C-alpha cells in the first residue's frame, strides 16, 4: 500500500492543499445527470421533483475487508499412519474502490464509513475461503481524493510513501513458501499500477465507463445545499480499530492528494483488503520442518484490511467558466444559451451556488458552461466566499469574462474587467489567467447608439489585452437578457475555443501516456 500511495502521488500534479476546513455546499444544474439504467431512473424520477441536496465535500473512513483465517487441519483418512495437513487458506478481504461515475452529481454519500467484505475462512480438505467482495463507492467526476494521515503516520517525501513512526516494514510471508496454486496476486502493486495509470479497467467497473448519458426532459436538475450531510467520523461504535483519540481535527493532520478522479470510469483502490491467513496445507511436503509447523498457527490469522480517513473534494468540470461581477448577466447568458433555468434578478448575488448548463449544437456537439457566483474585489484572498467560487473555475478549459457594458447601477465595465483579470491572476489555482478566454460585453440593448457601442467594445478590448487576458482581441457584444443579439456568433466562438482545448488535452494525455513509467 505504501508503494501504491507513493506512485499515485508521483503522477498526480495536483498541489497539496490544506484549505479543507469547512464544508461548503453548492447547487448544480446539469442536464448530463441521467442514465438509462433502471436503478438510476427511479432516482432521477425523484430528482425531477425539484430541489436536491448537493454537497461538494465529504469526509469518510474506508476499511478494506479482513482476510479470512487459514485452516489448520489434518487428513483423517482411516488407516493413514502419517496424517497430511489439509487446511485451506483464508480468502482475501475485499478492497474499497472509489469510482468516478458520470451519473453521480453530488458527494452526499449514503454513509461515511465504508467497509468491504471480509474474506471467508479456509476449511479442511484444502478448501480455500472465498475472497471478500469489493466495496465500490461511486462519486461524481472531478473528485479529488485526499488521504488524511493518522497521528502516527508521516509522509515520506523522498520515497513518496506513507510511513508509520517507529515501524519497520516487515516482509510478511517472505520466509514461508506457499505451495499449491493459492496466491495473493489480487492485492498489491501490479493491479494498482494499472489503476493509477488508468490504462486498464477491471470488468466490474466497465459499466461505469460505458454508461450512456442522455439529456433529461427538461435538461436539468437542481439540488439544494445540505449542511447536515457531513457527519463526524467514528460515530459507529462498532468500529473498534480506530480509537477516539484518532478523531480527525481539521488542520491538525497532514493530507496528501492520492487521486484525481476526473474522468468517467477512473478509479482507485483506496483501501486494500487484508491477506487471507495461510492454511496448513501449504506445509504438505514440509511438515517435518518444526519451525514452520510452529509458525503455522500464527500465519493462519487473516490480516486486517487498510483503514484510512479520506477527504473528498468535488471541483466542477466544465468547458467554460463564466467570470463576472454580480449582475453582469451571467445567469441570463446561461439561460439564453442552454436549457438551464437559473434564477435571474436585478440584485447582486442572485446566484449563490455554481450552476452548470449545457449548450447543444445541431450536430450533437456539446459545451458545458459553469455559472459561478459573482466575483468581487478581493475574491482571490477569500473575500465574498471568493475561494469557494473561484475553485470551481479551476477545472474549466476556458474562461468567459462578462461585463455589463451599459454600466447599470453606476458600474464601470473597464474597471470591472481590470479587477476580474487581477483576481483571476492572483488566485492560486494554477494557470487560470493564462487560459484561453472569451470577452463578452453584455446589455448592449441599453446602448442604442451604434457608434457608442463600437467605441465601448474597442475600449474593453484594449483593457482586456492590457490585463493579459488570453483572447483573440475580439469582444463579443451581446444582449443576453433582452434581444439575444450576438449570441449566435458567441456560440460559434465557444465551440471553437472548446474544440481547441480538446485537441490540446488529447496531445497532453498522449504525452503523459508515453512518458509514464514505474
Ligand atoms: N437590459 C438588459 N438587462 C439584462 C441583460 N442581461 C441581464 N440583464 C438583467 O441584469 C440583471 C442581472 O442579471 P443576472 O443574469 O441575474 O446577473 P448575474 O451576473 O447572474 O448576477 P449574480 O447572480 O448576482 O452574480 C437582471 O435584472 C437581468 O434581467 C441584458 O442583456 N440587457
Ligand atoms: Mg446569477
94-118: average pLDDT: 87
Nearest to 472, CA basis, from 431, 440, 508, 502: 440
> Got the DSSP string for 451-472?
HHHHHHHHHHHHHHHHTT-BS-
Report the pLDDT value the prediction gives residue 455, as an integer from 0 to 100: 94
Atom of ligand 1 at shortest distance to CA of 483?
31
Give dist(CA 354, CA 372) in Å, integer: 4
Report which protein residue has its CA nearest ligand 1's atom 5: 481
Q: Determine if ligand 1 sits within 6 Å of the CB of residue 324.
A: yes
- Min mean pLDDT across 26-35, 116-125, 133-142 is at 26-35
Nearest to 416, CA basis, from 430, 405, 428: 405
256-288 pLDDT, tens digit each = 888 888 888 888 899 999 999 998 888 776 666
Give dist(CA 309, CA 303) in Å, integer: 19
pLDDT range class, residue 76, cuts 50, 70, 90: confident
Q: Determine if ligand 1 sits within 6 Å of the CB of residue 332.
A: yes
Q: Determine if ligand 1 sits within 6 Å of the CB of residue 365.
A: no
Q: Determine if ligand 1 sits within 6 Å of the CB of residue 346.
A: yes
Nearest to 475, CA basis, from 387, 410, 414: 414
Outline where 300-449 has alpha helix (H): 330-337, 386-391, 413-426
Pocket test for ligand 1, best of 27, 322, 329, 478 (most atoms within 8 A of CB): 329
Distance 286 CA to ligand 1 centre (A): 81
4-23 pLDDT, tens digit each = 444 444 434 333 333 222 22
For cell 477512473, name the residue: 266
What ipTM is given for this predicted complex?
0.99
Report which protein residue has its CA nearest ligand 1's atom 6: 481
Arithmetic mean of pLDDT over the chain: 71
Report the pLDDT value the prediction gives residue 282, as an integer from 0 to 100: 81
The H or E element that residue 76 is part of is none
The ligand whose atoms approach the alpha carbon of 332 most closely is 1
pLDDT range class, residue 409, cuts 50, 70, 90: confident
pLDDT range class, residue 429, cuts 50, 70, 90: low
Give dist(CA 160, CA 147) in Å, integer: 13
The ligand whose atoms approach the alpha carbon of 327 most closely is 1
Report which protein residue has its CA nearest ligand 1's atom 2: 443
pLDDT range class, residue 449, cuts 50, 70, 90: very high
The ligand whose atoms approach the alpha carbon of 481 most closely is 1
Q: Determine if ligand 1 sits within 6 Å of the CB of residue 327.
A: yes
Q: Determine if ligand 1 sits within 6 Å of the CB of residue 284.
A: no
44-57 pLDDT, tens digit each = 434 443 344 557 78
Question: Where are the extended beta strands (E) located within 345-408?
Answer: 355-360, 366-371, 398-404
Strand partners, 113: 61
The ligand whose atoms approach the alpha carbon of 330 most closely is 1
Q: Determine if ligand 1 sits within 6 Å of the CB of residue 281.
A: no
CA end-to-end span of the chain = 15
Residues with Cβ–ion distance below 5 A, ligand 2: 331, 350-351
Strand partners, 404: 442
Domain annotation for the chain: domains and CATH numbers = 2-16+28-213+220-312 (2.70.210.12), 320-515 (3.40.50.300)
Share in percent of the chain as helix, strand, coil (round to 5): 30, 20, 50
Report which protein residue has its CA nearest ligand 1's atom 11: 346
Report which protein residue has its CA nearest ligand 1's atom 14: 329
> Got the DSSP string for 196-259?
HHTS---GGGHHHHH------TTS--EEEE-GGG---TT--TT-TTS-GGG---TTSS-EEEEE
Atom of ligand 1 at shortest distance to CA of 347?
24
The ligand whose atoms approach the alpha carbon of 355 most closely is 2
Nearest to 372, CA basis, from 358, 386, 383: 386
Give all strands of the β-sheet with 366-371 in edge-to-edge order.
355-360, 366-371, 320-324, 398-404, 437-442, 475-477
Distance 146 CA to ligand 2 centre (A): 31
Amino acid at each position: 500500500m505504501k508503494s501504491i500511495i507513493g506512485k499515485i502521488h508521483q503522477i498526480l500534479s495536483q498541489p497539496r492543499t490544506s484549505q479543507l476546513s469547512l464544508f461548503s455546499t453548492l447547487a448544480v444544474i446539469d442536464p448530463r445527470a441521467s442514465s438509462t439504467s433502471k436503478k438510476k431512473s427511479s432516482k432521477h424520477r425523484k430528482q425531477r421533483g425539484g430541489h436536491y441536496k448537493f454537497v461538494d465535500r465529504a469526509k469518510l473512513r474506508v476499511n478494506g475487508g479482513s482476510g479470512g483465517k487459514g485452516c489448520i487441519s489434518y487428513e483423517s483418512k482411516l488407516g493413514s499412519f502419517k496424517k497430511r495437513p489439509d487446511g485451506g487458506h483464508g480468502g482475501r478481504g475485499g478492497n474499497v474502490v472509489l469510482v468516478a461515475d458520470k451519473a453521480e452529481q453530488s458527494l452526499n454519500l449514503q454513509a461515511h464509513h465504508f467497509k468491504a467484505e471480509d474474506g471467508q475462512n479456509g476449511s479442511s480438505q484444502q478448501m480455500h475461503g472465498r475472497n471478500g467482495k469489493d466495496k465500490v463507492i461511486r462519486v461524481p467526476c472531478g473528485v479529488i481524493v485526499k488521504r488524511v494521515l493518522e497521528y502516527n503516520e508521516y509522509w515520506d517525501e523522498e520515497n513518496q510513501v506513507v510511513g508509520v513512526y517507529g515501524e519497520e516494514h516487515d516482509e510478511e510471508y517472505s520466509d514461508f513458501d506457499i505451495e499449491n496454486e493459492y496466491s495473493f496476486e489480487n492485492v498489491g502493486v501490479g493491479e494498482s499500477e494499472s489503476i493509477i495509470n488508468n490504462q486498464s479497467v477491471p470488468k466490474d467497473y466497465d459499466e461505469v465507463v460505458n454508461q450512456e448519458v442522455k439529456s433529461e426532459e427538461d435538461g436539468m436538475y437542481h439540488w439544494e445545499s445540505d449542511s447536515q450531510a457531513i457527519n463526524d467520523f467514528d460515530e459507529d461504535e462498532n468500529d473498534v480499530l480506530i480509537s477516539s483519540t484518532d478523531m480527525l481535527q481539521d488542520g491538525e493532520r497532514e493530507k496528501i492528494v492520492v487521486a484525481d478522479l476526473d474522468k468517467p470510469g477512473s478509479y482507485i483502490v483506496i483501501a486494500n483488503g487484508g491477506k487471507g491467513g495461510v492454511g496448513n496445507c501449504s506445509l504438505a511436503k514440509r511438515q517435518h520442518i518444526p519451525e514452520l509447523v510452529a509458525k503455522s498457527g500464527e500465519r493462519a490469522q487473516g490480516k486486517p484490511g487498510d483503514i484510512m480517513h479520506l477527504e473528498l473534494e468535488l471541483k466542477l468540470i466544465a468547458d467554460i467558466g463564466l467570470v463576472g461581477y454580480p449582475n453582469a448577466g451571467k445567469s441570463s447568458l446561461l439561460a439564453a444559451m442552454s436549457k438551464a433555468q437559473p434564477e435571474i434578478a436585478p440584485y447582486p448575488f442572485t446566484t449563490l451556488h455554481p450552476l452548470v448548463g449545457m449548450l447543444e449544437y445541431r450536430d450533437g456537439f456539446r459545451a458545458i458552461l459553469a455559472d459561478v457566483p459573482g466575483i468581487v474585489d478581493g475574491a482571490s484572498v477569500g473575500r465574498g466566499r471568493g475561494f469557494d467560487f473561484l475553485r470551481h473555475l479551476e477545472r474549466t478549459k476556458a474562461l468567459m469574462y462578462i461585463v455589463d457594458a451599459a454600466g447599470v447601477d453606476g458600474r464601470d465595465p473597464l474597471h470591472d474587467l481590470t479587477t476580474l483579470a487581477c483576481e483571476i491572476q492572483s488566485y492560486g489555482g494554477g494557470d487560470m489567467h493564462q487560459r484561453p478566454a472569451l470577452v463578452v460585453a453584455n446589455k448592449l440593448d441599453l446602448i442604442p447608439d451604434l457608434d457608442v457601442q463600437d467605441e465601448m467594445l474597442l475600449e474593453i478590448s484594449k483593457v482586456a489585452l492590457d490585463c493579459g487576458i488570453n483572447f483573440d482581441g475580439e469582444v463579443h457584444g451581446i444582449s443576453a437578457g433582452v434581444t439575444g443579439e450576438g449570441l449566435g456568433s458567441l456560440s460559434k466562438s465557444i465551440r471553437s475555443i472548446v474544440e481547441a482545448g480538446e485537441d490540446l488535452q488529447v496531445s497532453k494525455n498522449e504525452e503523459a501516456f508515453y512518458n509514464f513509467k514505474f
